Every structure is written in C-alpha cells, then in structure tokens.
Amino acid sequence: MNQHQLVWRRVVLWSALVCSFLAVSITQVRADETCQSPYLPKITGEEDYVYIWTLGDKGLGDSSDKLVTIGANPKRPDQYGKVLSSVSVGGQHEAHHGGFTDDRRYLWLGGLDTSKIFVFDVAASPAKPALVKTIDTFVKDSGGVVGPHTFYPLPGRMLITGLSNEKDHGGKTGLVEYNNEGKFIQTYWMPEGAEYGYDVRIQPHLNRMLTSSFTGWNNYMMDFGKMLADPEAMKRFGSTMVLWDFHARKPIQTFEVPGAPLEIRWALQPRHHYAFTATALTSKIWLINQKEDGTFAAKAVADIGDPKKVPLPVDISLSADDQFLFVNTFMDGTCRVYNVADPTKPRMIHEQKIGAQVNMVSQSWDGKRVYFTTSLLANWDKKGEANEQFLKAYTWDGKALKHSFTVDFNKEKLGRPHIMHFGQDQFYKNQIYTDNMGTDTRRVATNMQ
C-alpha cells in the first residue's frame, strides 16, 4: 500500500470512528433535468450540450474557475464528447452550484468561498455561453449570508440558499431572493434550532418548500482529513430539514434527520406527495412523506452501501416517472440505482463503479442518458492518482449503465468539474425573449430564421 492509499485509509477509518462516536452528521454535495425547478422549462428531447461549472486547480491550465461546454449529441460526431468552449471567470472562488433563470436564458453560477455570482448568457449562442455580469455584493445585499449554494428559479426571481454567514463563518445561514436582473429582494434566515442550510426544493401544488442542512465556511474550506480528525469541527454539521409554507416563506415543521441531509428530490408525479434525501454521514435514504392530516413526517427507509464504511453519499437523481433513484457515493466512486416504485421500501437494482471518486449525477428527462462528474470541494477531493477529474456519459436502459464517453478534465487542463446543466439548440430556436429594458422583442438564438 503506497503513501496515498494509507492517507485515504486513515480518512475512512477516522470517518467511521467519528460517525460511530458522534450522533452528528456530515455532508455535501447536485443538477439534473428531472430535478430542476417546476418553474423552469425542460429540455425533453436529446441535449446538445452539457455545461459544467468547474473549479480552478492551481498549476493546471489558467488555474481559474470556468464554465466548460461539452458536446453531447452523438449525431454531431465533430462535437460529441469534446470540449466546445471554456470561459474563465478569473481566480478561484470554490465554484460549486448554479441554475438557470426561469426562462432558461441566463445561467447563474456561484462561488462558495468568495460568494461571487457569475451570470452567463446561454441563449444567444448555446455552444459558447458568454459571461455578461458578475454580482459581487451577495454578502452585503443579504445582510451577511455567505456561500451561495442552490440556485432555484422562481417566476421572475432567483432563490439562493446560503451555507454560512459573515459573522463567524459557521453554519447559521439563510435564503436569499434576487430578481432576474440581479436586484436583491429579501433574505429569510433559517429558523432557530435549524440554522444550517444547504438545498431548497419546492412542490407548488402542495404550496410546500423543503430545505436541508450542511456545514459552514469554516468546515467546507478546511482540508478534509484535518476536519475529520477535529472532534469540534465534526460537531458543526446540520441534522435537520425544514418544511416551509412556500407562498408565505414561513417555516412550519422541522424534522430531525441526523447525518447531514443534502440534496432534496420531490416526486414528480402529481399524486406523489413525498420527497427523498440522502444523509452523507449516516449513509441513509430518507423519505419525507405527507400524512393524511396534511402534515409531513421524515423516516429513514434504506441504507446506502455499508454505513459503517462511510461511503459518503453525495448527489442523488430521481427519474421523471419516480421509479428510479440514482445515488452517488464519493469515497468508493460508485453509483447505486434503487427501484423506488414503493418509496417506503427502496430496493437496489444496480451498482456501478464510476471512478476513484464521483460526486454529481444528472440524467436526461427521458432517463436514457446519465452524466457524472467528480469534484466535491477543492480541499475535500482525493489526492494523488485518486484525484481523477472527469465527465463521464452513460446510457441507462432500466437495468444497467453503459459507458458512452469520457472527458478527462486533468488531461484537458480544465480543473475540477462540478455541477452540470443541459443545453439544446432547438430549445432556444423556439424561444422569444424581450430585452431587459422592455423596448424590443427579439429572438436570441443564432441562425434563427
């Protein structure tokens, strides 16, 4: 066993010890056509592009965070599986998550370290998005929220979750709203007893909003091994989820969900009144299900791998028919697929090793194509040879994943790929946009007839 393997074995052992000793949770890490906001128009046909928000890696290429566009249409062999464009934003900001505005015209991308937000125009040239605006006043605008994480489009607005705060860089945080032009609207701080934040997802026909919880800047910017060895740091993780009245933006129920509940996925079928999450530290799938009286209850319904080995569940993705739940685990680089036709009894039907590490998973609306990226956080990714950084594309036939192509981000000198979003030429050809001044109506796609 070489030195690098020894280091990671120690990390795994530390994780197991910490989790068995503390009744706390750890966390991390999400985009997906099936798991987007209900207010966002979907790409229901084959995607032409995958947009990847990528962390800069010191000494690799220009070392800056960047938006990378990969060709994803096999009918275009000159583009398929290739880098079509790369736009650096200058510097390293801990590139993490982002989301489209509700018209899918602009893609907002956030940095967890500097709290800067970069706005790209995707519609004007879907193969080559352009940086058109930078919002560097997020902390000041919001009254001290730090670490913009989930970007969730609402009609005419962008709802953004924070991970931390300016005062102590701990886990207390809030939700922040801007309008689509980048003007701050208001901040909602997380309620007492459930101060941590992470993801947000809305179920409009129930008028309910769910939030989950992670950790603050002090932890997510710390070296992973150092943090796991620090008992005080390991106490600073969220273990709650909050159910809100969406229209009133008021919390109405708090659930104890030990182990850092991360991504939230509401069921998509109209009569399915439940959501899933996965807990990073305790390695379980949780179901948040509506009861007959209209209130909700949270319950652990399945283990993910062997929780004693701390596989560290990260991103999850629910198919559009609510039949399959894809669950990535970072430490063993594996995707597990569960049949969740009965949401109270998830049943694993497929297991696939993706790489030495894996984080994000995104599937197409028809469920036939699934994409994976690797980076968790700059200081949490594996080291040495295990620091694989890639986009991998697979097809899914309901039974197994089959590899389609790989883009090696280390070899291409791009950095650490994180969240993915999809683009399609035909979608933008069918849109009509009004400019921000309201004086001119024009189509923005290229080669528009």
Res 435: pLDDT: 62
Please give the Cα distance from 54 to 52 (Å, whole number).
6
Q: Whole-prediction pTM value?
A: 0.91
Please tell me which residue, 45 or 2, carries the higher pLDDT value: 45
Please give the Cα distance from 249 to 261 (Å, whole number).
21
The answer, yes or no, to whether residue 443 has pLDDT greater than 70, is no
Confidence at 433, pLDDT banded by 50, 70, 90: confident
The answer, yes or no, to whether residue 439 has pLDDT greater than 60, is no
Q: Give the mean pLDDT of 109-129.
A: 98
Q: What is the mean pLDDT of the chain?
A: 92
The answer, yes or no, to whether residue 31 has pLDDT greater than 90, is no
**Eight-class DSSP state of 342:** S
Res 32: pLDDT: 74
Which segment of 17-21, 117-121, 381-385 scores lowest on mean pLDDT? 17-21
Read off the pLDDT of residues 84-104 as tens digits, 9 standing for 90 and up.
999 999 999 999 999 999 999
3-state helix, strand, coil in the chain (%, to 5): 10, 40, 50
Which segment of 249-253, 417-421, 441-445 scores lowest on mean pLDDT? 441-445
Neighbours of 173 (CB within 10 A): 30
Please tell me which residue, 395 or 32, carries the higher pLDDT value: 395
The answer, yes or no, to whether residue 372 has pLDDT greater than 90, is yes
The answer, yes or no, to whether residue 23 has pLDDT greater than 90, is no
Buried b / exposed e across 111-137, counting CB within 10 Å, b at 16+? bbbbbbbbbbbbbbbbeebebeeebee
Q: What percent of the chain has pLDDT over 90?
A: 88
CB distance 11 to 384 below 8 Å: no
Please tell me which residue, 5 or 377, carries the higher pLDDT value: 377
Res 365: pLDDT: 95
Token readout for 240 is: 């709650």
